[in-house]
Amino acid sequence: MAGQGDVALVTGATAGVGRACAIAFMRAGYRVVLAGRRAELLDSAVTEAGVDRDAALCVPCDVSDPQAVDALFAAIKERFGRLDVVFNNAGTSVLGTPIGDLSFADWRKVMSVNVDGAFLVARAAFIQMREQDPQGGRIINNGSISAHVPRPGSVAYTASKHAITGLTRSISLDGRACNIACGQIDIGNAASDMTAKMPQGVPQPDGSVRAEPVMDAAHVASSVLHMAGLPLDANVQFMTVMATSMPYIGRG
């Protein structure tokens, strides 16, 4: 079983789901690398976790920058010597914009983080896990229920999350030869800055605006911990965790 003393990387660890998961990993006894754009928020997550700071490494990183990702993984190797789990979580969105009104710059903004960034982190993790001794590890990609069905005006975000599903399946296949497992968690309406407007009302496919329930991000963290804690000969390939009454099942 994974857990105590294993090394976990969480990207997008400054807020929301990423922060909740980083704190959960630290409290579960993992040595945790926190990556994100804002150094002060990474540091405050370690303080909030209340763990020995020697067991945490905060690395400011823009995952869409190949050199920044290379520097992140060099820092992980220097500090801990190996990597056991990655929660490939960093992401951004441009919501509420129909495709006809979406600029190419906004399209690229989403793709550069959600797809390019996820690829760069997964590739670097795969290389580290393939080369280390003992070999292997686990990559958990953050998908979304948008990896299954879109919201109105979400073409870039939805396309990026469909791409994550292809990334997950391909890593799972490529990883078999070197004991690398890969799974995906698809999250619906976890409380964060991104979902702050949902209890007040968000656009629906029928043109109405309705309030949607949200759930505590801690429930996502416990789900990610479950996936991470499995032995490498077992894998949660896909998991969906969501606010029970959100309008996802039957959407459309």
Element (H, E) at 60: strand 56-60
Q: At what angle do helices 104-111 and 155-175 cross, to 10 degrees?
A: 30
Residue among 234, 138, 133 nearest 181 (CA) = 138
Q: State which amino acid sits at residue 89.
A: N
Catalytic, out of 138, 157, 227, 242: 157
What phi, psi does 50 have (nearest 5°)?
A: 70, 35
Look at residue 103 and give its three-state secondary structure: coil
Residues 6+ apart with CB under 8 A from 56: 26, 31, 32, 33, 34, 46, 49
- Strand order in 85-88's β-sheet? 56-60, 31-36, 7-11, 85-88, 137-142, 180-188, 238-242
The helix/strand/coil state of 172 is: helix
Rounded Cα distance between 28 and 45, Å, is: 14
Q: Is 157 a residue of the active site?
A: yes
Catalytic residues: 157
